[in-house]
Structure 1
Amino acid sequence: MRIRTRISILFTLITATILLVFACTVYFSAVENREREFYALLKKEAYTKANLFLNAKVDKKTLEDIYHNNRKILNEVEVAIYDTRFDLLYHDAVDIDFVKETPAMLQDILKNKEIRFYQEKWQVIGITFPYKDKTYIITAAAYDQYGYNKLNSLLSTILLVFILSIFLIYAAGIFFSKKVFQPILEMTQRVKTISATSLDARLTSSGNKDELSELASTFNAMLDRLENSFDAQKHFVSNISHELRTPLAAMIAELEISANKDRSIVEYKTVIDNTLNDAQKLKKLFNSLLDFAKASYDSSEIAFKTLRIDEILIDACQQVLQSSPNYKLDIFVDPAIEDEKLLSINANEYLLQVAFVNLIENACKFSPNQKCLIAIKADENRIQLEFKDDGIGIDPVDLPNIFTPFYRGSNKDYSEGNGIGLSLTRKIVLLHQGEISVRSAKGVGSVFSIDIPHRSLF
């Protein structure tokens, strides 16, 4: 069932319930009013007949004739008058005597001064009437034909209006829900036209600060992120293809040349060395891509634990020296750090070590002296690391783009690389809720600074 239909039905049910409560209130109020007013009429008729009989001394026969004549065309009130000894003094119609008064009833009237009750659908009232130091007991009874007819007419009208109202309310609910959901239907049709080849399409917004406009804005923001992600992915794949094609093409060319004719052992060895060198480049590229993928995971899916950052840094230095023993590395720890807890952070050891290795290798391979100076500072809020070199520096034009994947600046001819290292390092630092920045001057050197918070360790 469509939401629009469910809302219309729910709206109709709620409104119908309110109307039903209102109708019942009106009807039962009318029932009570009819009963109260008719009892008042009976009481008035009882007093009138008593005054006519006792005070005006109207003849019994005359009063009875009036009653019988009126009864033919009206629901005349039947009145009976008794004294305190329960002797019948007057009765409009002894032959009919609908009430059939009993001594117990009369005693009850005398005791309570007034009683009211139903006999079948006839309403009966019993009252005492004081006259000239005497007390008389009067009963009056009648069937309120006019009142019941009005109630039946009211009930029929209420039922008819209620049923018609339900249909009208449901129709109005369908109409207005269609109006309300029209923008959503338009959004749905628009979304159906959006695909991977048309991510530049956007939902139109009315500009009102309502939920639908907010939904459209949120969806457009999501499309912006998807479009950027697709563009980055296409750019990423294109760069990977380029980076893979170069060493593979070199390897294939070397092997094809060596396979064309017999070569000497020295020549075969040269081909093997060149092919091995290209294979090492591929291996390094694959490892970098794997690390880049790991650093792109949701932070909630990456395991973090409490680690000493100086220990991670030492492991990174050992890894670098193992592959490049000629590199020179110096680590300086701020002597003001007296509490070892200031060197502890919540981190992923593998990823953070990868980031440190990248920064150390960059500092050494772009420095004539192949040296990197590493400084560690810390306070109760964060840890700061600096990786300093005395190398060729970074061109100011390249500085805004050095963290872009596969970006190679003007120093690409100085040393080989694939442009992934710094972008990977930045992702890892951001995963640790840290910040990375760089200061560099052409021909002077570069300083990469990393600030990583302790993340509520204390």
Structure 2
Amino acid sequence: MQIRTRLTILFTLITAALLLVFASVIYYSAKEDREKEFYSSLKKEAITKANLFFDAKVEKKTLQDIYRSNRLILHEVEVAIYDNAFRLLYHDAVDIDFVKETPEMINEIYQKGEIQFYQEDWQVIGLRYEFESKNYIITATAFDQYGYNKLNSLLKNIIVVFIISILFIYIAGRFFSKKAFDPVKEMTEKAKKISATNLDLRLNSNGSKDELSELANTFNEMLGRLENSFDSQKNFVSNISHELRTPLAAIIAELELSLTKNRNIDEYQAAIQNSLSDAKKLVRLSNSLLDLAKASYDPSEISFKQVRVDEVLLDARHQVLQANSHYKIDIYFDQDFGPTSDRGDNEILINGNEYLLKVAFMNLFENGCKFSENTRSNVNISHSPSLLTLNFIDEGIGIPKEDLKNIFTPFYRGENKIFADGNGIGLSLTQKIILLHKGTISVTSVPSNGTEFRVELPHL
């Protein structure tokens, strides 16, 4: 069942329930009012006839003739008068005697002063009447034909109006629910047209702040992220294809050239050395891609634990120096850490993944060294109440201003690519790792004077 239909039915049922309660209150209020008014009328008729009988001394026959004459054209009130000894003093029609009074009834009326009850659909009232210091019992009964007719007419009108109202409400609910869900239908049709080949399409938003506009804006934002992701993936595939093709082509060309004719040992060694160099480039590229994939995981799938940043820096330094023995890397502490500080080791501890952090620090060390003529990179460590700050500083060639905004873009290589080999993954990978650890990384650089990368990580 469609939401539109469910909402229409639900709205109709709720409205029907409210109308039913309202109609019931009206009907039962009218019923109570009719009953009270008729009992009041019975009491007045009984007292009037008692006054005619006792005070005006109207003869019994005259009163009975009036009753019988009126009874032919309307439901006349039947009155009976008793003394407290249950002796009948007057009755409008003994042969009819609808009430059929009993001694117990007379005694109850005498004791209570007044009673009211139903005899089938006839209403009966009994009351104590005092005349010349004597108490008499009067009963009066009648059938409220006019009141019942009005009540039945009211009930029929309520039922008719209720049915018509429900039909009208259902039709109106269908109409307004259709109007309300037209934008949803339009959004659905538009969404069906969106595929991987036309992610630039967007849902229409009316610019208001209602829920549908918010949904459309949220969906459009998601499409924007997907479009960027697809574009990044296309660029990634294009770039990685190029990066892989170049060293592979070089290896193949070198080996084919070596096979064209017999060569001496030095020439074969040179060909092997060139092929080995290109193979190492492929290995570095593969490792960088694997690390980039790990850094792109959902944070919930990566194991985090308490890590000492100084130990990770030392491990990163050791691995970089092991692969490049001519590099020079120094680590400086601007403040006291450990037992001599106020908070012990907490300032140097962070919640992180040791392997990924080591990869990030190695990239920053290698970057500083390979783009510096003195092949030196230093890191200064300091802390604040909530952050651990690492400043990676070199005295290298610097980064041109127009390249600074793109250095964290995967596979981007600026003007400095002629100075050292690389694949353009290192810095983008480093940024992903730092962001994964809820930190920040920024860069300042002056061409020919060096570069500084500032990394801030929340410590324990």
CA shift, 1:283, in A, is 0.8
Is 1:366 aligned with 2:408? no
Partner deviation per Cα, 1:295-342 (whole Å, 9 max, x = no partner): 112223222111110000001011111111121121112243333321
For 1:130, give the aligned amino acid.
E
Residue number in structure 1 paired with 2:57: 57
Residue number in structure 1 paired with 2:104: 104
CA shift, 1:262, in A, is 4.3
Is 1:418 aligned with 2:395? no
Residue number in structure 2 paired with 1:214: 214
**Pick aligned residue for 1:382 from 377, 384, 387:** 387
Normalised to the residue count of structure 1, the TM-score between the two structures is 0.96
Alignment of structure 1 residues 31-430 onto 2, 5 Å: 31-337=31-337, 338-339=340-341, 340-430=345-435
CA shift, 1:28, in A, is 0.9
Counterparts of 1:310 and 1:177 in 2: how far apart (Å)?
A: 64
Counterparts of 1:156 and 1:210 in 2: how far apart (Å)?
A: 44
Residue 332 of structure 2: SS of its match in structure 1? Answer: strand
Residue number in structure 2 paired with 1:446: 451
CA shift, 1:396, in A, is 2.1
CA shift, 1:55, in A, is 1.1
Specify every segment of 5 or more residues in structure 1 that has no aligned partner in the other structure, as ranges: none
For 1:452, give the aligned amino acid.
L
- CA RMSD in angstroms, aligned pairs only: 1.4
For 2:426, give the aligned amino acid.
G
Counterparts of 1:209 and 1:396 in 2: how far apart (Å)?
A: 41
Residue 398 of structure 1: SS of its match in structure 2? Answer: helix
Which shifted more, 20-29 or 128-137?
128-137
The question of whether the paired residues in 1 share the 8 Å contact of 2:79 and 2:141 is answered with yes
Counterparts of 2:400 and 2:83 in 1: how far apart (Å)?
A: 126
Residue number in structure 1 paired with 2:21: 21
**Pick aligned residue for 1:431 from 429, 436, 448:** 436
Counterparts of 2:45 and 2:346 in 1: how far apart (Å)?
A: 102
Which shifted more, 116-125 or 336-345?
336-345
For 1:160, give the aligned amino acid.
V
Alignment size in residue pairs: 455
Residue 397 of structure 1: SS of its match in structure 2? Answer: helix
For 2:396, give the aligned amino acid.
G
The question of whether the paired residues in 1 share the 8 Å contact of 2:410 and 2:428 is answered with yes
Partner deviation per Cα, 1:397-449 (whole Å, 9 max, x = no partner): 22221111111111111110001101111111111121212222222222222
CA shift, 1:272, in A, is 2.4
Which shifted more, 62-71 or 251-260?
251-260
Counterparts of 2:254 and 2:448 in 1: how far apart (Å)?
A: 37
Partner deviation per Cα, 1:156-192 (whole Å, 9 max, x = no partner): 1111111121111111100000011111111111111
Residue 405 of structure 2: SS of its match in structure 1? Answer: helix
CA shift, 1:261, in A, is 4.1
Residue 401 of structure 1: SS of its match in structure 2? Answer: coil
CA shift, 1:96, in A, is 0.9
CA shift, 1:259, in A, is 3.5
Counterparts of 1:436 and 1:209 in 2: how far apart (Å)?
A: 36
The question of whether the paired residues in 1 share the 8 Å contact of 2:335 and 2:381 is answered with no
Counterparts of 1:95 and 1:328 in 2: how far apart (Å)?
A: 133
Which shifted more, 332-341 or 373-382?
332-341
Partner deviation per Cα, 1:77-135 (whole Å, 9 max, x = no partner): 11001112221110000111111111111111111110011111111100111112222
Counterparts of 2:115 and 2:364 in 1: how far apart (Å)?
A: 104
CA shift, 1:294, in A, is 1.1
Partner deviation per Cα, 1:207-266 (whole Å, 9 max, x = no partner): 222111111121122222221221122112111111111111112222233334444444
Counterparts of 2:251 and 2:71 in 1: how far apart (Å)?
A: 125
For 1:58, give the aligned amino acid.
V
Counterparts of 2:445 and 2:369 in 1: how far apart (Å)?
A: 15
For 1:38, give the aligned amino acid.
F
Counterparts of 1:60 and 1:356 in 2: how far apart (Å)?
A: 123
For 1:291, give the aligned amino acid.
D
Residue 15 of structure 1: SS of its match in structure 2? Answer: helix
For 1:19, give the aligned amino acid.
L
Normalised to the residue count of structure 2, the TM-score between the two structures is 0.96
Partner deviation per Cα, 1:135-154 (whole Å, 9 max, x = no partner): 21100011112211221111
Residue 207 of structure 1: SS of its match in structure 2? Answer: coil
Counterparts of 2:4 and 2:111 in 1: how far apart (Å)?
A: 66
Counterparts of 1:437 and 1:65 in 2: how far apart (Å)?
A: 115
For 1:233, give the aligned amino acid.
Q
Counterparts of 2:386 and 2:198 in 1: how far apart (Å)?
A: 46
The question of whether the paired residues in 1 share the 8 Å contact of 2:335 and 2:383 is answered with no
Which shifted more, 8-17 or 439-448?
439-448
For 1:429, give the aligned amino acid.
I
Which shifted more, 319-328 or 105-114?
319-328
